[in-house]
Each structure stands twice: as C-alpha cells, then as structure tokens.
Amino acid sequence: MDDVAIIRACAKVNLVLRVGPLRPDGYHELVTLIARLSLADILLIDRAERTTVSCPGLPGGDTLVTRALELLCESAGSDGGFHVHIDKRIPHGAGLGGGSADAAAALRFANELLPTPVIPAELVRIAAAIGSDVPALLHDEATLCRGRGEQVEVLGELPRAYVALAHPGRPLATRDVYRRYQPEARPLPAAIALPQTLDELAALIENDLAVPAEQLEPACAELRLGLLEAGARTAAVSGSGSVVFGLFATEQEAEGAIANLAGAAWKTTSTLGAR
C-alpha cells in the first residue's frame, strides 16, 4: 500500500436547475448551474490486479466508482484495475452528487495512473455513461450544463460564499422526483452568466425540482423556511433533494443558522467552491 493516493471528491449544489420536457430517451432536457462545495468524500486509491471498492456505511459498496473504473480500464486497454476505499462524508440521496463526485474524482485520478491514459473526450464519454452529472464533476470550477446534464461549459470561480446544509433524514430517489415533475411552458434559458457578487448569486438561485421534492418530502419545505428565518440570503433544495441549502455571506452566519435549525437529521456548513 506504499503508493496509496488520497484524493477529495467534493460535493455539488445546483444553484440553478431548470428542467424542460421529457425526451424520448427517458431523460429531461435541462439547464443547470453547478457549484462545488468544500464538503468532500475522501478516497484512497491505488493500482490493483482488478477493481475493488470498499465503502463502509454504504450497503453493497459504491457501484458507480466500480463501474467507472472498469469502463476506464477497458477503454484504455489496461488489464489491471484499482482498489478504492471511500470515506463517505457526503450524505446519500441528498442531491449533493456524492456518488457522482466519487466516480468523477476516481476517473480523473485513475486515468493519470494508467500507462496509456484515455484522451479527455473519452473520459467525458465514460463519465456520461455513469451518470448525467458525472461530466460536470470532472471540474472543480462552476459549470453550466445542458442536454441531460452531460454538455458541460466551465464558467469559472464563484464569489466567496458559505452554505448551510440540512438533511431531513430520508433520502429522495432522483428518478422519483423527476417522475413527479410537471414541466412548465416557459422555455429553458439559453445561457446563464457567472455571477460576480453574492447578491447576483442569491438572485439566480432557483430549482424546478423543488416542488416535486417538497411534495415527496414535506420536511424539505420546513427546512427551507427555517433557513430563511435564520437569515439565509436564499434557500433551496439541491438537485432532486433531499438536502436543502441556505446561502450566507460568512461562515459565522452559516454556523449560527445551523446551530439553531430544528428538524434536521444531519446538518453542516460548507464553503462554496472546491477547496
């Protein structure tokens, strides 16, 4: 285990998530602005004869990482594999992209360890085969994503901000939330500019999946209102939930809000941006 590398797989929040109609392939057309968080899973990774993943606390281990690394080795024509140990800190079924972030971080790092790494476009193809938000999570910066999420444009660094994260204790399944979503008539935005200030950032935040997520898990609405009462600039469900995030200017404000928030089974604060 001499060559074990330690890497961080940062969580994400969807600052904007606009969802269009259902496509014939079973996915929805969307436009989303994704930001990374300092909250991260820790991965220990080294080369092995075949790919194995251990992930205490996640029943059945982490299948996304296993599949991603198997596809990578196959594509690179490599006989060997990797061993990955995941120390889970990002809650599961939360809309924080935990499993996708682990897969993206493992892909990015493992590719560099291969004798003949795959080209960037192939890494993106493999990432998209694993999940719609995995290509975006190959990047540390904020990204604007289209299509089913796999068409990624890197926007850059966001203004400094802090989030308070609150989980009601019950995960939501992405598929269930999308299935309940009723597409609106208004068109998807053609572009979203990178916000330059905290006020611009707060004004942007919206999530089309908030309505179905809050219908399926009413505690999400209570947590959102609780964060707003505690002084959040704005608060919203992240992705398909069930985590709700509140936006704050300072770490102290975020921590103060979380300390007094009732009804959360899990809560923490985090910096906006992978750090």
Q: Which of 12, 41, 62, 267 is catalytic?
A: 12
Q: Residue 183, interface with ligand C5P (CB under 6 A)?
A: no
**Residue 242 and residue 93 in contact, taking contact as beta carbons nearer than 8 Å:** yes
Q: What CA dihedral angle connects 205, 217, 171 and 14, to 10 degrees? A: -10
Region of 26-34, 78-86, 103-111, 207-215 interacting with ligand C5P (CB under 6 A): 26-34
Q: How far is the CB of 128 from ligand C5P (least distance, A)?
A: 8
Active site residue 88: no
Instruction: Kindly tell me which of 131 and 168 has the beta carbon lying closer to ligand C5P.
Output: 131
Q: Residue 14, interface with ligand C5P (CB under 6 A)?
A: no
Instruction: Kindly tell me which of 9 and 161 has the beta carbon lying closer to ligand C5P.
Output: 9
Q: What letter represents residue 129's amino acid?
A: A
Q: Which of 41, 62, 133, 208 is catalytic?
A: 133
Q: How far is the CB of 199 from ligand C5P (least distance, A)?
A: 29
Active site residue 133: yes
Instruction: Kindly tell me which of 131 and 195 has the beta carbon lying closer to ligand C5P.
Output: 131
**Residue 267 and residue 258 in contact, taking contact as beta carbons nearer than 8 Å:** yes
Q: Residue 178, interface with ligand C5P (CB under 6 A)?
A: yes
Q: Residue 175, interface with ligand C5P (CB under 6 A)?
A: yes
Q: Residue 174, interface with ligand C5P (CB under 6 A)?
A: yes
Q: Residue 151, interface with ligand C5P (CB under 6 A)?
A: no
Region of 75-83, 173-181, 212-220, 227-235 interacting with ligand C5P (CB under 6 A): 173-181
Q: Residue 109, interface with ligand C5P (CB under 6 A)?
A: no
Instruction: Kindly tell me which of 15 and 30 has the beta carbon lying closer to ligand C5P.
Output: 30
Q: In degrees rounded to 5, what are phi and psi of residue 207?
A: -145, 115
Question: Which residues are catalytic, by number?
Answer: 12, 133
Residues that bind ligand C5P (CB under 6 A): 27-28, 30, 131-132, 148-149, 174-175, 178
